[in-house]
Amino acid sequence: MIFIGVGTPAHEDGSADLQYVLNVANTIGEHMQGFKVVVNKSTVPVGTADKVSQTIKAALDKRNVDFEYSVASNPEFLKEGAAISDFTRPDRIIVGTESTRVEEMMQELYAPYNRQRDKLIFMDVRSAELTKYAANSMLATKISFINEIANIAECVGADIEQVRIGMGSDPRIGYSFIYPGCGFGGSCFPKDLRAMEATAINAGYQPKLLSAVTNVNDQQKDRLFKKIFGLF
């Protein structure tokens, strides 16, 4: 089993450097001597597993050999400052594969971290690739939403902290990611939102909500600056 794509550089659309991943896939095809499971850990554009599979096959054909292989997706869900804890005690383990053999191998591999309850969720590869983008986009949406509500609260004279407590008490909403502030930053949320937008647009769909999440976030940063500028 070979894991690829961890820590790869990112393009402007937020995806991992696809060419980097494909170069690794080509190297695998050039050197593999028997059955291999190639597991992509990166946050990559939907359809990357197909391209990895095609790249490996092309390298094998060039060598005039025919070894069995399977390409799976196993995106990581690690929070900043809690990577080890999130890996050893994960909320869920997403695996994209159509192979029963790969499922059995992944179950054995993750067995030490899957003892309290079954956290493995198997699905098709493209769904696994999209799940990581969808999860981060949802969290980013909650942040932009509460900032929008905070701006409204300020205009109507409401206390956003009280509103937040009232909202968060609903278990369908929860308290996570509904703290108003200057918006989300870091690398994951902005790039994954851009990647989700690019994926949708390339598929012929205009994602209005995702665009709004990004716009609200950009405006929130400017709003904070204006407040500071006005104060001083």
Does 188 qualify as catalytic in the annotation?
yes
3-state class (DSSP) for residue 75: coil
Contact call for residues 44 and 13 (beta carbons, < 8 A): no
- DSSP conformation class of 180: -
Catalytic residue selected from 72, 150, 188, 195: 188
Taking the C-alpha atoms of residue 131 and residue 74, their distance in angstroms, rounded to an integer, is 10
| Partners of 69 in the β-ladder | 36
Taking the C-alpha atoms of residue 184 and residue 31, their distance in angstroms, rounded to an integer, is 43
Q: How many residues does the chain have?
A: 232
- DSSP conformation class of 19: H
Taking the C-alpha atoms of residue 5 and residue 3, their distance in angstroms, rounded to an integer, is 7
List, by residue number, the catalytic residues.
188
